Structure 1
């Protein structure tokens, strides 16, 4: 009787194991290949609340969830090698932090250590002499020195030395400043921006030799002049706030990132955010495209205006509003009207638009990126609608 009971128990356990194994087989190990989802964070705090701040628990849960879904976290060195042609793991993710807040050292770094996940901290080096001067403390010399010893695992990179500022609402990095009642000359502008990049690299090099060739643009704002100026200062890779995924064809000076550092981005939300950039919902070679997914993959968003309940689009800071019958679109900045060749229509709870209509409205060329299977376009040559980074 005992032998029979043991035999039945063994069969039940075996059956359960096989069932679990069968279920796990439905979770794909390969979500995407030969591309990198670069995540952007700012502040990790358990006391401060805000749109750019997440709790330590949420940060840990996000990364743990991605690990459970077969994502592979890579270092900045691996990312640079990938940009030069080297292979990377499937489902690659790079974790980055802007500003150099002290919370990176006290809250984020311990989680990265615990999970053995490398990361990048883009530091405003002008804060090092007085790290407590702002409302949010920055990392001090002792903390930067300790992180510098973990180079290869934690990278200290540039968020500028003194260019994370605005004058009359315009970013230092991309505009001529007003100096004693006159406008900065082209030569003065170039000298300031290039000199700042050199200063930032020099300061970072004292903590982690060889650092500073990678930058996150202050506020996510850049233009061709700024790109040239920081390149002359030794910057070889630069990150924007454009919400796309990095492929081998990405411009190394206009690299996109996904904003994971919002309290509203739950672990599964982050997974879905990444997958929307790597999974085309409808073949872009056809005439139509799903509007929401296509816009998100291009770095825009679809929204509903609460004032009049009308559908709208936001692309690179420019707002558009659909007419009530969805047969035309108005660009709100100048009231330019676009009549659609085919009105927007809904199928399976998705809104579809003709690709040629969307191209005409946004003034861009949309194509299928064969690396990622997504709708894509070239990033703008300049951006003046970034976020506080």
Structure 2
């Protein structure tokens, strides 16, 4: 991140903080979900939350939020039922052993429910960096949610052709993981899936819909009844996103009310266009909406005839990029929309 981008991001978060400070909690049917990978001081920084930082997160959540079970909260929201004010769910991707050794004992101190999205092949292979089946059964028996993260944890959308062979491979990795979890745990887990690397396209989300799954990405934002249930967002809480000062601001947000699904996130266009039809909501200050890249640089947008149109004025790099749009709430707090883009990707070994 450049210095100028960092300053823009800091400016955006200051504005959001001022808005969030006036937030008065109401019974709500929206949920913010945090996503972790490693909880350790000696693992790759980009996907790690340092132990002291994780402890600080838990202390803050205990004082200011209601940590809820992910599956229960999603069921409530889909049914149009309220969940606790300031509800947050905790998730961990990839089944790393430090979640068992380090994070779990700390979570038990607070009696916080949490979910692990399990890629089953590394567990089957006995990889030393992941939690083993006997340990996963111990966690399952203690009430930890263990859900589907595919079998092999490979890129699912970086392909030249989305043909019958690709579709068969996608279904196989999802169904193999679900079968292995069922075999090892003695019961079928709820059909909730986390895309490896948070990447999906329209074809993949349609497959997950056909298979009957709720699916989650790695883009930021909250969840409401109007959300895309094959592409639910989560706020990253590792790497640079582990900073509690910025994380607490994000946790005051609510999902921006727009019509889903959004345009396909996989594109060769380095300046992709986001168009989203706005839903009626008198609480949103649409006149004060602003949009930024994932690095915090302001980008052009317009609202015309109830449609938000956002397009970067600089080329994105290859790989994952992001638009974020925020707007203050008249009742206090603010609304958040994020759109991830996967740019110009070649084939993957899948």
- TM-score, normalising length from structure 1? 0.63
SS in 1 for 2:193: strand
Note if contact 1:96-1:119 (Cα within 8 Å) is conserved in structure 2. yes
The counterpart of 2:145, out of the listed 125, 137, 155, is: 155
Distance change >3 Å, CA 365–CA 241, structure 1 → 2: closer
Residues 1:274 and 2:268 are matched in the alignment: no
What is residue 215 of structure 1 aligned with on the other side?
A: 193
Aligned length: 284
Structure 2 stretches of 5 or more lacking a match? 1-20, 258-282, 301-309, 318-322, 344-350
Note if contact 2:91-2:114 (Cα within 8 Å) is conserved in structure 1. yes
Residues 1:261 and 2:238 are matched in the alignment: yes
Q: CA deviation at 1:143?
A: 1.0
Distance change >3 Å, CA 47–CA 365, structure 1 → 2: closer
What is residue 77 of structure 1 aligned with on the other side?
A: 71
Note if contact 2:22-2:332 (Cα within 8 Å) is conserved in structure 1. no
What is residue 237 of structure 1 aligned with on the other side?
A: 214
Partners in 1 of 2:235 and 2:325 — Cα distance? Answer: 22
Note if contact 1:32-1:372 (Cα within 8 Å) is conserved in structure 2. no
What is residue 226 of structure 2 aligned with on the other side?
A: 249
Distance change >3 Å, CA 207–CA 114, structure 1 → 2: farther
Residues 1:33 and 2:28 are matched in the alignment: yes
The counterpart of 1:140, out of the listed 124, 132, 141, is: 132
Note if contact 2:90-2:114 (Cα within 8 Å) is conserved in structure 1. yes
> Rg larger in 1 or in 2?
1
Note if contact 1:37-1:94 (Cα within 8 Å) is conserved in structure 2. yes
SS in 2 for 1:203: helix
Distance change >3 Å, CA 254–CA 333, structure 1 → 2: closer
Q: CA deviation at 1:91?
A: 0.6
Note if contact 2:30-2:254 (Cα within 8 Å) is conserved in structure 1. no
Q: CA deviation at 1:227?
A: 1.6
What RMSD, in angstroms, separates the aligned Cα atoms of the two structures? 3.7
Distance change >3 Å, CA 52–CA 333, structure 1 → 2: closer
- Show CA shifts across 1:353-386 (max 9, x none): xxxxxxxxx8x99988899974555x65x8526x
Residues 1:96 and 2:91 are matched in the alignment: yes
The counterpart of 2:47, out of the listed 46, 49, 52, is: 52
Structure 1 stretches of 5 or more lacking a match? 1-25, 166-170, 178-182, 304-310, 321-329, 335-361
Partners in 2 of 1:99 and 1:254 — Cα distance? Answer: 18
Partners in 2 of 1:193 and 1:120 — Cα distance? Answer: 23
